[in-house]
Structure 1
Amino acid sequence: MWHMTTAPPPPREEDDEPSDLPDTVWEEFARDTAAKIRSDAPKEPSARARMVTERLRREDADAQERARAAKPRGRRQKRQEPEGWRTGPAWREMQRGERGPWRDRIRTPAIVAAVAVLALIAVNPSGARSLVLGHGHSSGSDETSSTGTPLPPETATPTAAPTVAAEPDAPTPSHPFAGSPALQWADGAAGIVLPHPAPAGDLTAKQVAAVLRTTKAFLVATNLDPEELRGGYPTAALRLTDPVNGVRAMMTADLRSPSAKADPTVWFTRYNPAHFRLVGSVVKVRGRMTFARADHGAVRVRTDYSYVYAFTQAGDPHGTVARLIVRRELDTQWYPHSDPGKVQIVAQGAEFGGSGCGFVDGYLHPYFGGTPGAAPTGPATDPYDRTKSLAKAGSCGTVSRT
């Protein structure tokens, strides 16, 4: 059966027929349409926008990478940071509370050695110097080893003389106390240690403290003051001496006209710088100071100190070193009405080791052998033996060591 369809009518040309809309409406429609097209069109991003976008993209990628790295893969993964900052080996060991065994073996002994060296230098600089340079095996005493370790202050009469090394070191200008027990002694005024003051006699503890300080000042002025040692006039020592018993007048007379019977070295340690030169500035000192009640409410202070000096001859400052050992005992006394700033000498004694004999010029003369003056004679004594009181005055004796 045939089916017949009706053909559609031909399209109508819109432009052929006039529009019923006014021109102003069409113009407004065209403008709106163009604006809409421009707003909907894709825009090229600015440079700043591109930078921000790229940074965000990288941060997102880094976050994803860290998340993947944080996932467990058999063993826990360590956080990665630049080596040598917080994640260097030492920092990681500290974080874990661990230390490499080889570090422990090296670090701990090094710290202990450093502390020991610093303590030795602070207490005895010359002893530390000798120990470091290989001069620490000189003779010691029954109170110490032979390594140059400083001795504690002397508080009582020693029970034995310092021992003698089989092969003691020879003194040199660089190490003037090598081979001597004085190597372990204190330097200068540090060797004069004051006892703890306490009331004694009719004096209070404060007054006793004052007289102890005056006593030390007198010992320094007569045995350690550089100008006085070089033969200068001992003004400070004379100023500290109480004139009440005539001792200061005797000192002044001995200085003015020295002789065999009026020898100022009985009171002062002095040498002639035209003939000798003191090596360095260190004088070694060892001894003790005590005090006790005396008659009539007084306080008596007793001192017993040995001083060791090292010399070269004035024309040979880098040559042979000779040591001079001076031991002095001194008793001073104070009454409640006494001037605590002046010493009143009531007894004294002196002994010299390593000094030439027969001089009456008011100076001590370190003995170098073959130098002018009489050589020491008589039985040999040990000038370092402090176990006995000073011997009575006699001939100029020899010494077993200096």
Structure 2
Amino acid sequence: MIDVMKHSWALLLGMLLLMVGNGLQGSLLGVRGAEAGFSAGTMSVVMSAYFAGFLVASRVVPGMIRRVGHVRVFAALGSFISAALILFPALQDPFAWTAGRVVLGFCFCGVYVTAESWLNNATTNETRGQTLSAYMIVQMIGIIVSQALLIIPDVSGFLLFVIPSVLVSISFAPILLSISPTPAFDSTKPMTLKELYDVSPLGMVGMFLMGGVFAAQFGMAAVYGTQAGLTLGQISIFVASFYVGALVMQYPLGWLSDRMDRRKLIMLVAAVGGTAAVAAILSGGFFWAVVGAALVIGGCANPLYSLLIAYTTDFLEPDDMASASAGLLFINGVGAIAGPLIIGYAMEMVGPAGFFMLIAVLLGLVTLYALYRMTRRASVPVDETGTYAPLSPSATPVFMEAAQEYAIDAAEEAEAEDAEAERVANG
């Protein structure tokens, strides 16, 4: 890990600042939307727009990079992010905010793709696993730190929008000033949805459902907080709790996934997360109960993303892993677009409890479908499964492919070690 930090600290620092800026704007809009009188349904459209932009960018930006290069794409999209953040308080209109969120989703995805390609290019086979871990940790810490900024007094109404704009602008400096020669860029064509379903029905259905859960965390948690009457300090603690839970549980669950039937673990983890959401509903909105539920849900939902990818790749040849991952990323993005819209509708129908209600339903469906799939085909023997790679739901196709390279390398190393052990045993 020290070697990774030594060679990639500037890129990781830049990504940390980007995540702080992105995490703050998401929560800030949820709070300011309520102050402006926007309903939960209206805010759900605004929040969903980010994921629509992100999904489009994951398909479009690779072509942009091939045409004009990493540096130009990075600088152009970064400029649009800073401009959009400044315009939000000046244009307090739901249509303008929706358009702004599409722009932010598109641009943040493009910036992540560009920065991640540089980071992946600076990674060797020996350090790829550590780099993936460092990158995931930086992303989570960035979002957690961003929530603390939400409580800064903002008498003018502009300061909290200026802060993420400045952070995003500053983040370009360490990245652009430290990059190695521009890497070659290529993207993998995703599998068709039918091909993906044939390979792993649980992987495809689970990723779609988890897209809705992730969007609830990242897009609607602050909206829930305002609807539930939480103070700014309480909203910041509540939103951060999802990511603290994710950071704490990612590695223990990853360790378990390499040592047991992944379908059982997926079923159990989803069931625990769904139970936590039900407990939050039954608590009647008691603050520390919903914070505890957020910790558990985040600790279950974010690792489930990586678990579903790892489970799917257990049924693939190495050459097909990258294209399957790209397909999983796409279907997860579709679920992320739908998630806030459904949650917004539920919150308008039943109040703030609709937030946890939909999370409980989605995780319950993952639990039931995993149980059903366990009756349909035999599990992959534990000693034949691939290596779990920690990933954040905000990862782009670049790091999805890097994770698969890591899994392939780890599998090849394990096979070589087994072959060597067998050779020694046979004399």
TM-score by length of structure 2 reads 0.22
* Greater relative contact order (Cα < 8 A, sep 6+): 2
- Greater Rg by CA: 1
Q: Which structure is higher in helix share?
A: 2
